[in-house]
Amino acid sequence: MTDQERQDNVRLRRRIEQLDAEAAVREGRISELLSQAFDLEHEIRDYAAMRDVLTPTGLRAGPGLEVECSFTPATDGVAGDFYVVTPGPDEDSTILAVGDVSGKGAESARRATFVRTALATFAGFVDEPCQLLELSNQVLVERAGPSTIFVTAVVVVLRPREGRLTWASAGHPPPLLLDSGELLNGRKPTPPLGIDASITCRPGELEIAPSAGLLLFTDGVTEAHRPREAMFGESRLADVVRELAGLPPDEVVRRLESAVLDHAGASLADDLCIVAARMVGP
């Protein structure tokens, strides 16, 4: 074998070793990507399960009440908007709640799921909105621990036969009356849930006429906007509700959702969650 042939063999072996090393790197990267894909698939399944809990398709309104709900997810990321519609502990009460969680991702969605489950569970035994918020906050902090990830919520108890509603808010926008577009302000809001084990809550109460109703929503509605343009806002929300005066809840929700999506354009920065309820005669 000549010197040239030996040199060619050495170069060939080095090239083969280089290709083997590159193949090993590619295989390792492929394995890493496959692992990430499996992890992502599990997360997606987890999110899907949580979403089914946070925004169930079946509604369980009590007698004398029509209710419609709508949920549209954010374009990017996983947030944690939720709603609750369930009969209260007696024949004349229905519990409505809407909530949101700070941040996005699995942990935020899990904490929202915890609060939503707690509210729905306690609603079968308690029909005072402050008690529902206080109990849900207590179990959230005791079971999941305090966190910088907090949950806002508003709870309403409607009694159609009495023509009365009570409500309480934990860092969440207050309910809005259908037809008039009036926000039920005037009560000092409770801090959001999940920050401290002890919260102080002050409920509001209002007598409402037959066929009256209300709207619950998350800030994804009022903060929806196109880039560099104004938010949808509470004033525009009230205007739309007044334009829809007298319509049934399903029509109110459909048209309001359409108005918000038209205003927001192709991309939603946050979830949209809307609940409309109207009292109906016997």
On whether the CB atoms of residues 249 and 37 are closer than 8 A, the answer is: no
Please state, as a whole number, how many other Cβ atoms lie within 10 Å of the Cβ of residue 21.
10
- Give the global pTM: 0.81
Query: Please, is 256 exposed, middle or buried when counting C-beta atoms within 10 Å of its C-beta (0-12, 13-18, 19+)?
Result: buried
C-alpha span between 176 and 185 (Å, rounded): 9
SS3 call for 239: helix
Query: Please, is 223 exposed, middle or buried when counting C-beta atoms within 10 Å of its C-beta (0-12, 13-18, 19+)?
Result: middle
| pLDDT tens, N- to C-terminus, the chain (282 residues) | 676 667 666 666 676 666 555 555 545 554 554 455 445 445 545 666 666 667 777 778 888 899 999 988 887 766 688 999 999 998 889 999 999 998 877 788 888 888 888 898 888 888 999 999 998 998 888 877 888 889 999 999 999 999 999 999 999 999 999 999 999 976 667 899 999 888 888 899 999 888 999 999 999 999 998 888 899 999 999 999 999 999 999 999 999 999 999 998 877 878 889 999 999 866
Please state, as a whole number, how many other Cβ atoms lie within 10 Å of the Cβ of residue 208.
18
Phi-psi region at 166: left, alpha or beta (left = phi > 0; alpha = psi -120 to 50): beta
C-alpha span between 173 and 218 (Å, rounded): 7
First to last CA, the chain: 105
